[in-house]
Copies of this chain bind each other. A is one copy, B any other.
Amino acid sequence: MMSKILVTGFDPFGGEPVNPAFEAVKLLPDEIAGATVVKLEIPTVFTRSATVVEEAMVREQPDYVLCIGQAGGRSALTVEKVAINLAEARIPDNDGEQPFDMPLREDGGTAYFATLPVKAMVRNINDHGIPAFMSYTAGTYVCNSIMYNVLYLIDRKFPGVKGGFIHVPYATAQGVGKPNGTPTMEIATMARGIEAAIEAAVSTETDATDILGATH
């Protein structure tokens, strides 16, 4: 039987007409390395994004859940290692929520590590000629929030499902008007990178053993 991966991207936010995260998801093929790809646009909202993803996990019963969000200013695709039980929002989300110093789940762990094979994903993106790095912080906004919620839900209700998160840079067109030095990436490139990550995710039993890590 084919395996299935649920891939989410956030809806437009902050007055932007599109969100490159979901634009990249839309470009993915419907099948990658023998796995069915289910694409889901989710609201840029702390509370509702978790509900929407949980409903989709019940409905679709995916083997893998990969969420995509944007970290403007980063230069590469970054595969996230860890999500923390903290909401700290510099700006309100699309529902006007602006939590700070708040746990995402009162009964959740302080953090969860991604259960997808993150090193294999980084390596396969690079092997496709697209810059990628491991990241050890998914931030404190809705990106960290949805990654945390997915891993919490897997831990509580969906045993065996593998979950993770990838941050994408600003799209190239978003770079116009931003300060000189701001890195960008084409949305089509993001999509090819995410496809490579998914290919690794759905075909890797044991993660790669590259030594990544921070330098401090």
Instruction: Give A residues with C-beta under 8 Å from B.
Output: 69-76, 81-82, 84, 86, 88-91, 98, 100-101, 109-113, 119, 126, 129-133, 135-137, 139-141, 143-144, 167, 172-173, 175-178, 180-186, 189, 207, 209, 211-216
Contacts and interface: CB of A to CB of B under 8 A. Distances in A.
B89 A176 contact: no
Q: Which 5 A-B pairs have the closest CB atoms?
A: A88-B213, A111-B111, A139-B214, A131-B175, A183-B183
Assembly stoichiometry (copies) = 4
29 contacts: A73-B216, A74-B181, A75-B181, A75-B182, A82-B84, A82-B110, A84-B113, A84-B136, A88-B213, A90-B213, A91-B215, A100-B211, A101-B119, A109-B110, A110-B112, A129-B173, A129-B176, A130-B172, A130-B173, A130-B175, A131-B184, A132-B176, A137-B137, A137-B214, A141-B215, A172-B185, A181-B183, A183-B184, A186-B189
Nearest to A110: B111
Contact of A110 (B113, B131, B183): B113
A131 B179 CA distance: 10
A19 B101 CA distance: 33
Contacts of A110: 82, 109-113
A139 B180 CA distance: 14
Contact of A75 (B180, B207, B214): B180
A24 B133 CA distance: 26
Pick the most buried of A98, A133, A215: most chain B CB atoms within 10 A of its CB.
A215
A84 B167 CA distance: 20
A117 to B, nearest CB: 11
B139 A211 contact: no
A141 B82 CA distance: 15
A214 B141 contact: yes
B215 A75 contact: no
A172 B129 contact: yes
